[in-house]
Amino acid sequence: MRIDPNSRNIQGITSFLTFVALNVLYLLTCLPVVTIGVATSALYEVTIRYSDDERGRPLKDYLLALRANVRRATLVYLALVVPAGVLLFSGVFWLSSGSSIGAAAATIAFLASAYLLAAFLFGMALVAQFDTGVRRTVRNALLLPAAEPVRTFGIVLIPVTVVAVTIVFPTFLVVLVTVAFSVGAYASAFLFRGVFARHAG
């Protein structure tokens, strides 16, 4: 019996295993926390490219992108995630006050934090796709969620759903560790490509 390496079944299994390896590699490179930005930008770079022509060497390309994006991705990550964290903390603080003014302030803080989360995801995709300066990347990342609310909702919904489902159903952790982030990034890649095709120029 001969197995055809070019058959659809074999290619499907190979792609699945590649996404599993990519997911595990992504999680490992996120462990220092400060590297979440560059790891996410590298994941987006690989999945955006793969969604375009389904070619390349995802694992090797991921490591190359990790090295190439480290400075810009880390600076963009810090510029967007640090204030998002501050807003999230202040939202919790205001919510604990128990007053109507505190509840209103908490709502504003949570919404602003969610907006910065969306900006962070756009920022990492911009780092992955365009070779521009940090200031311009941050500015564009802050503008795109407002310019593309529908696609932004989809882009944010993917990681939020993954985390929420894992919290509600702990057994989903197996999927989280194996394919959730890589497949989620692949799904987001089509949304990012739509945004960039509309606004690049």
Distance CA 189, CA 191 (A): 5
CA-based torsion, 116, 119, 121, 123: positive or negative: negative
pLDDT confidence of residue 183: 92
For the chain, domain boundaries: 8-199
Ranges under pLDDT 70 in the chain = 1-12, 54-56, 201
Contact between 48 and 193 under an 8 Å Cβ cutoff? The reply is: yes
How high is the pLDDT of residue 37?
Answer: 95
pLDDT tens-digit readout, 137-185: 999 999 999 999 999 999 999 989 988 998 899 888 898 889 999 999 9
Q: What is the pLDDT of residues 82-91, one digit of tens each?
A: 999 999 999 9
pLDDT score for 53: 72
User: By the 8 A CB rule, do 195 and 140 touch?
Assistant: no
End-to-end CA distance of the chain: 53
Q: List strand residue ranges (DSSP E) for 54-187, in order.
A: none
The CA distances from residue 45 to 38, 56, 140, in Å, are: 10, 11, 17
pLDDT of residue 34: 93
Please report the pLDDT score of residue 54 as a whole number: 64
pLDDT of 55 reads 65
Within 10 angstroms of residue 92's Cβ, the number of other Cβ atoms is 12
What pLDDT is attached to residue 144? 96
Closest CA relative to residue 40, chosen from 192, 200, 201: 192
